[in-house]
Chains A and B, each alone.
Chain A
């Protein structure tokens, strides 16, 4: 299941989840109320440049620190549908997969992408930038299955329904 969108660059290695969604707002529960705080401690102007279908293009070790799911939730609430990066911190990567955001590790695609580039993420192992195809590591079959089902909520719902008791 491929995802297609418009690139927005987020520059810099080791971007942490605190700057992407400051701790003071962790008591917010509604995604629509989280949305205005995305990138607030990093570069608030980035948020104004998000459009429905944006694919963030990020550098190395993106999403370090806190496990706060508010970051990918606020991304989705702002129309982000995928992230392409050089590399990701573990929990941020998990959270994106679980929430059904497309996420791909592909340094060559990051090198090629500019703001406004047309990006296609193919979770089977490729990222396209303005029509040029770059190989990316194929996702684990289990994670592909999660993606096909829509995320961990849907995947778990199917198992809860079929499990006895």
Chain B
């Protein structure tokens, strides 16, 4: 069993875990200071059932005395927990959400679990785990314009596919990894699970230390793999050779260069998710949308990941630029990213999104098509009404 330093769940995985915890006969959590609950999936509640889930999440959190981020108080769990200093290097974080792997961006072993696993973690503070192998991804070279962290992880998926990382951790090293900002590392680590991996980890460096300064809720030590550690595989990616990439329907590993698929008409653009509603993403999108209009056939939704990011983007004038261009700006929510609410797709529609999954039916109709790309590409598609290379709007 692996001890958890932190256990996280949301309005979908949490209430299900509480029921399992009751069946386990566990009345109290193992340590209320190491448990965080976030209402973000059906946020704000789309119907009475969703409202009940959030009500139960809040009441349970109050009873147990654990941290709770409800409506208007937090945002999307993974960006939020990093922002609020819950995630520190070297910690083990068990999350009732598959994208818990995002915490690898800060050097933590964050990993996604189902609700029964989460219940056992809440009761005992530990989960079973087979020791994973390591796939090391060596990043070198300076990325070209419009190439972001999203393109790095799409390049990995293009190489190893949606099962190539199973039973392994992705470890991102090299000068290209060190050069990525924290926001970009979040985007990379977020999709490690799309390769099947347990987590996607960056060694904690000076950038992580600076990010955590005044933020971290506990002491931490940086962990890195031992020199000469045994690897299952080593991949090398030259960032200077990358172009903006796009995952075509209906698999995140179905990756092409954007330049190969220009001209595909786009009905909806969605900028946001648990790692791509950051200030970095919003600034990239705004630099294209500011002073331009979204194409008449296209709808655009921008979802800042947390309340704090929402306010910062508002203060910078980004939100106004989005609305002026014809987009809507949403409250932080997982929303349409998982087909929950707040912007689902109709049959036959094409979307370009900065989200992490384009499975059939993921964002609404099973007859809709979702394309995954970075915020530059998504914003450019909104203006053009079709897939274009973002350099068109440089």
Contacts and interface: CB of A to CB of B under 8 A. Distances in A.
Interface of A: 13-14, 16, 18-19, 22-24, 26-29, 41-42, 60-61, 64-70, 72, 87, 89-91, 94-95, 98-99, 140, 142-143, 146, 151-153, 155-157, 159-161, 163
Interface of B: 12-13, 15-16, 19-20, 23-26, 41-42, 46-47, 49-50, 53, 96-98, 112-117, 119-120, 123-124, 128, 130, 162-163, 166-167, 193-194, 196, 198, 251, 338-340, 344, 357, 359-362, 366
Contact of A19 (B50, B166, B359): B359
Contacts of A163: 124
Contacts of A24: 339-340, 344
Interface residues of B, dominant DSSP: loop
A67 B42 contact: no
B200 to A, nearest CB: 13
Nearest to A98: B116
B12 A151 contact: no
Nearest to A62: B163
Contact of B41 (A26, A41, A69, A142): A26
A69 B16 contact: yes
Given A65-B98, A153-B24, A90 B196 contact: yes
5 contacts: A23-B340, A65-B359, A98-B120, A153-B24, A156-B123
A19 B361 contact: yes
Given A18-B357, A27-B49, A61 B116 contact: no
Contacts of A98: 114, 116-117, 120
B112 A91 contact: yes
Contact of B24 (A22, A42, A89, A156): A156
Nearest to A24: B339
B110 to A, nearest CB: 12
Contacts of A67: 13, 96-98, 112-114
Contacts of B53: 27, 29
Nearest to A155: B120
Contacts, number: 142
B339 A95 contact: no
Contacts of A68: 12-13, 114
Contact of B113 (A94, A146, A153, A161): A94
Please list the 6 inter-chain residue pairs (A to B) with the smallest Cβ-Cβ separation, ordered nearest first: A61-B163, A23-B339, A95-B114, A69-B114, A41-B361, A23-B338
B357 A65 contact: yes
A136 to B, nearest CB: 16
Contacts of B362: 18, 23
B356 to A, nearest CB: 9
Contacts of A29: 15-16, 19, 49, 53
A64 B196 contact: yes
